[in-house]
Amino acid sequence: MDSDRPTKLEFAVQMTCESCGEKVRAALEGKPGVRSVSVDVGKEEVLVESALTSSEVQALIESTGYRAVLKGIGGLEQDLGAAVAMLSGAGSIQGVVRFLQLSEELCLIDGTVDGLEPGPHGLHVHALGDLTQDCLSCGEHFNPFNKQHGGPADSERHVGDLGNVVAGPDGRASFRLEDAQVKVWDVIGRSLVVDAGEDDLGRGSHPLSKQTGNSGERLACGIIARSAGLFQNPKKICACDGVTLWEERDRPIAGEGRSKANPDMPSAHL
């Protein structure tokens, strides 16, 4: 289900003066979905409590002309682990999807995927973190309880069944979902896959409906890797590339020039 539950987002923002900080604050405060804003110019840090997607908050910050990098994400009361999948696939498709375990029962999934055909696309956690044959080697949907395919709200579903995300006319799908079956500690090391078509949630007449949702070929995928939670990423240098946080900000998040199988990579973006 879609989530309007607020979370805390920690951004590094290139601010050099108090007026810079006030400009960032003005871009965020009072916006629908933003509950509170804390700006520390000395630390180049902005903490936002919001029900918006992380990409929406980042866009608000960067509307000021200052670059921002998401360093951490956390719940208002507790969080029990975080993970990230950096997706790439056919053509220009690329994206970042973050998992935050808010409680023993609830996982928040926050993501943005670009380059999709407008419309709904199936989203699933697959059993294997194997990209040796791109998305074909990710295995089947993560289904530890041997159930039939279904929708996110169904009791009869694969754990990996996350339903559909919808791309707009610009090809971007930006989403925040809550799921009661996904657990961060169970999906780390597995893969996340975006499909070409709409998942029928097991309600269709096609023979694949109860197996995969008949959502077509696998368009993009990425390994789900452990990542930093709130205030857990002090890095100024990206361990995977040896470049600064801001040099990393200007590099592609996926696709050409980026290894999608590198487990250290997410630390630069979280």
pLDDT by residue, tens only, the chain of 270 residues: 676 788 999 999 999 899 999 999 999 999 999 999 999 999 999 999 999 999 999 999 999 999 998 888 888 776 788 999 999 988 889 999 999 998 899 999 999 999 999 999 999 999 999 999 999 999 999 999 999 999 999 999 999 999 999 999 999 999 999 999 999 999 999 999 999 999 999 999 999 999 999 999 999 999 999 986 655 555 443 434 433 444 555 555 444 454 443 333 333 333
Residue 110 lies in a domain: yes
How far CA 263 is from CA of 65, 82, 267, in Å, comes to 31, 14, 9
Q: Can you tell me the distance from the alpha carbon of 249 to that of 144, in angstroms, rounded to the nearest whole number?
A: 37
Residue 136 lies in a domain: yes
Query: Are residues 265 and 255 in contact, defined by beta-carbon separation less than 8 angstroms?
Result: no
The count of structural domains within the chain is 1
Residue 206 lies in a domain: yes
Q: Output the CA torsion 222→11→51→1 (10° steps).
A: 10
Domain that holds residue 217: 82-226
Residue 270 lies in a domain: no
Residue 9 lies in a domain: no
How far CA 237 is from CA of 6, 21, 103, in Å, comes to 29, 23, 31
Residue 204 lies in a domain: yes
Q: Find the CATH number of the domain harbouring 173.
A: 2.60.40.200
Residue 173 lies in a domain: yes
Residue 233 lies in a domain: no
Q: Can you tell me the distance from the alpha carbon of 173 to that of 62, in angstroms, rounded to the nearest whole number?
A: 19
pTM of the model: 0.81
